Chains A and B, each alone.
Chain A
Amino acid sequence: MTSRWIAPVIAFSLGAASMLVGLAQAGRLAAARPDALVALAQQVEVEHRRVDLLLERGDEAAAIAALEALRKQTWPSRTDGGDLGEQLRHDVYGRLVRLRLDFPDVDPVSDEALLQAIDEGLGTEYRDVETNPFTARLVALRGEVLEERGRDEEALGAYEEALDMNRTLLELELGEGQ
């Protein structure tokens, strides 16, 4: 009599466990190639420090050029680099666009080219990436560029999207703090 229930109970437990694991991993795609992620993280860290130094020296053109060079490298796919790889890319593109907006006279590019760079940096799956400030910043910068072009409705949408992400992050931080 008891053995009749064993199979369904085990099946149910396995199903529930799989679902919980799936939910826990939702939006937290791990890198399939940790070597690619580690190499990328090291490269990005070095370039950020280099850009810091260039900006301290007041060489914005070199800083922008360094980030443009980093932009042109081959980025790992989301599968290979995971969500962290995506966040690192969003961080680099965000810094580049910020510099472009702050120093429009240095190696000037059109707003259209800037939007293209932002979309390239965000990728098509940025909404699936675990919420993080780098993605939120790039989305906000998209709003800023759209606003510059007079596309206020789209700009508002981007701002609200970025604000929602930041709100989630702030709530998480407040929750952790408590």
Chain B
Amino acid sequence: MTGTKPDTHDSAPLWPQGGAVTDPAWEDELRAGMADDGGAGSVEPELAALRLLLHARAPAELAAAREDAIWGAIDRATAPVPWWKRLPSIWIAPAAAAAAAVLVVVLMQPKPQPNTDAPEIATGDRKTMAEQLENQFAMLAPNARANVARKVDVSRGNMRGQLIAMARTEGGTHGGAP
């Protein structure tokens, strides 16, 4: 306690009136003592303890109207949100995401070029592309021709096999030459 209180060294009883610690007069005495000390210090901690003791002796009750108001507020705060109120939040997020995606696509889209900038092969590139492709063909063609010839040979072999098989079958069926 930072403030003053009745002198506890006196032989006189602490509360001569027979009052208990919960006697409201104690608060007056505390404030009077503080005033005697020139208002220095604080008696609030002691008063808080006093009010706690008062409440323990006779608990304060809320007025019925006040109690109803508090419970009403609690009910409103804890009641589940109906589906039709939640719906916007369900749809807003995906719709916002889709809108953002569309925005990104629109922003990323190359701006339409004027007609004068329509795809056009530069004069310098004209021969270059055609020549480049012709050079690539010259490089790839020999191997491709060899590949075609090899595959045709395979087909020729298969065909020869089929013809021989057919000849043998016909020879067996018709008796063939003696």
Contact = CB atoms under 8 A, between A and B. Distances in A.
Interface of A: 31, 34-35, 37-38, 41, 45, 84, 87-88, 94, 98, 132-134, 136-137, 140, 143-144, 147, 152-153, 155-156, 159, 162-163, 166, 169-170, 173
Contact of B133 (A84, A136, A153): A136
B113 to A, nearest CB: 12
Across the A-B interface, the 5 shortest Cβ-Cβ residue pairs: A133-B140, A140-B133, A34-B155, A41-B152, A137-B137
Query: What is the interface of chain A mostly: helix, strand, loop, or mixed?
Result: helix
Contacts of B141: 133-134, 137
A143 to B, nearest CB: 7
Interface of B: 118-121, 126, 129-130, 132-134, 136-137, 140-141, 143-144, 148-149, 151-152, 155-156, 158-159, 162
Contacts of B126: 147
Contacts, number: 78
A31 B154 CA distance: 11
B129 A87 contact: no
A159 B133 contact: yes
A162 B121 CA distance: 16
Contacts of A94: 137
Contacts of B144: 87, 132-134, 169
Contacts of B155: 31, 34, 37-38, 84
